Structure 1
Amino acid sequence: MMTNLFSSFDPSTSFNLSLNWLSTFLGLIFIPYMYWMIPSRMNYLWIKISSILHMEFKILLGNKIKGSTLIFISLFSIILFNNFLGLFPYIFTSTSHLIMTLSLALPLWMSFMIYGWLNNTIHMFAHLVPQGTPPILMPFMVCIETISNIIRPGTLAVRLAANMIAGHLLMTLLGNTGPMLSLIMINILIMIQLLLLLLESAVAIIQSYVFAILSTLYSSEVN
């Protein structure tokens, strides 16, 4: 592991292998219990969350492609599992790396673009010029809309990775000051760390929801 502030984000291990990426699959350990055992409170909670997300995504997508909401519910689930697992000590946060986030965002965006430009070419051209744009500004608007469309997978990936890194770094920085503090200050520090952990739990949920909902919005634009 790297012996600096960013050591928790280092994918390599002492064997010089990237075994830390295996933490991505730890989320799969929790899933079988919900499907193969007698329905529990956790099962009912997850079904409730999935149904709420299904209704949210269905409003945005409409009824054009049946079952399309399952893609985005699965996307939400995998990001949520990895974000939460990263909050546990000594577990690698895979969603803090652009390799992981770009691997989710880029194929989704590419598939939306290929589908849109092949099947709804006129509709995609119409998106490049917003309604009510003066004729003199149309060339500039086409350039701006094209650039904003191209950077979408990058913004999706960087937003998720940056939010995961920022919270973890802040907790690490505060934690490293512990040995130099007095007993009273250590108690205050622990309370601050607990509040930050609560904030990071909220960020883990919010960022997975934002990633899924923005992917849904981008897909709804190509129809």
Structure 2
Amino acid sequence: MMNNLFSIFDPSTNIFNLSLNWMSTIIGLFFLPFSFWFIPNRHFIFWKFITFKLHNEFKILLNFNKNKGSTFIFISLFSYILFNNFMGLFPYIFTSTSHLSMSLSLSLSLWLSFMLFGWINNYQHMFIHMIPQGTPSILMPFMVLIETISNIIRPGTLAIRLTANMIAGHLLLTLLSNTGNIMSSYFLIFLIIIQIILLMLESAVAIIQSYVITILSTLYSSETN
């Protein structure tokens, strides 16, 4: 019996007192056969189509002619978050993206690298970005303060957005599944149908959140160039 509702997210898997929960971040690679990387097949062609579309979209935002190869960083980020989100939908697999220690590490490292690159190489552009064009002189100090605060909280909002969306769906599925013991057979069939629909919704959320986090990171990066 769970001590509290959030105990489903607690790390619990271990062998010889060594925690293996965070190995779920690479467990998605084990589901792919070795031939996937060498022999063209439908899955490989489908994934290549997705990455090609993402590449075309990201290079527009990142000024690809100036920063060649930068799109691969964000395509890798999208793939990494997507794999972890999907792995968390399987039973008994630790959902790493539902923890702030995971999502905040990703967002904070990206944000710090963007800020260091921007202030070292394009400090004039970074100063100009703090004051929107056409701002009255009397409001300039307030705009600088507002833009600075909004810039500082960006990694936190990215991390909380991903974590909250992953936790919300898992908690809803857990709450509904815990009521199955006290339901009759007719209501139990109805509950299973609802669970399947929610699982499909969570699959869509896993894709959407991966895309949203990646697009926002790309936009934050484009502001430093």
Q: If the length of structure 2 is used for normalisation, what is the TM-score? A: 0.94
Residue identity opposite 2:59 in structure 1:
K
Residue 146 (structure 1) shift: 0.1
Q: How does 1:84-123 map to 2 (within 5 A)?
A: 84-123=86-125
Structure 1's consecutive aligned runs of 4 or more residues displaced over 6 angstroms after TM superposition are none
Equivalent in the alignment of 2:7: 7
How far apart, CA to CA, are the structure 1 residues paired with 2:175 and 2:31? 31
Match of 2:21 in 1: 20
What letter matches 1:98 in structure 2? L
Query: How far apart in 1 are the matches of 2:115 and 2:90?
Result: 37
Asked if the contact 2:162–2:209 (Cα under 8 Å) also holds between the matched residues in 1, the reply is: yes
SS across alignment from 1:6 = helix
Q: Which residue of 1 aligns with 2:81?
A: 79
Distance 1:119 1:55 in 2: 26
Deviation of 1:4 (Å): 3.0
How much has 1:157 moved relative to structure 2? 0.6
Aligned to 2:48: 47
- 2:158 and 2:80 map into 1 onto residues whose CA distance is 15
User: Is the Cα–Cα contact under 8 Å of residues 14 and 21 in structure 2 kept in the other structure?
Assistant: no
Shift of 1:33: 4.0
2-side partners of 1:10 and 1:86: how far apart? 13
CA distance, structure 2, for counterparts of residue 146 and residue 22 of structure 1: 37
- Matched residue, 2:59: 58
Hey, what's the Cα distance between the residues in 1 that align with 2:89 and 2:206?
9
- Aligned-residue Cα RMSD (Å) equals 1.5
Q: 1:122 to 1:157 in 2, by over 3 A?
A: same
2:152 paired residue number = 150
Structure 1 length as normaliser, TM-score? 0.95
Amino acid at match of 1:82: N
Q: Which blocks of at least 5 consecutive residues in structure 1 are unaligned? A: none
Percent same amino acid at aligned positions? 71
Inter-partner Cα distance in structure 1 for 2:35 and 2:88: 21
The amino acid of 2:90's aligned partner reads F
Displacement after TM superposition at 1:34 (Å)? 2.5
Give 2:10's aligned amino acid. D
Unaligned runs of 5+ in 2: none
| Aligned mates of 1:163, 1:46 — CA distance in 2 | 24
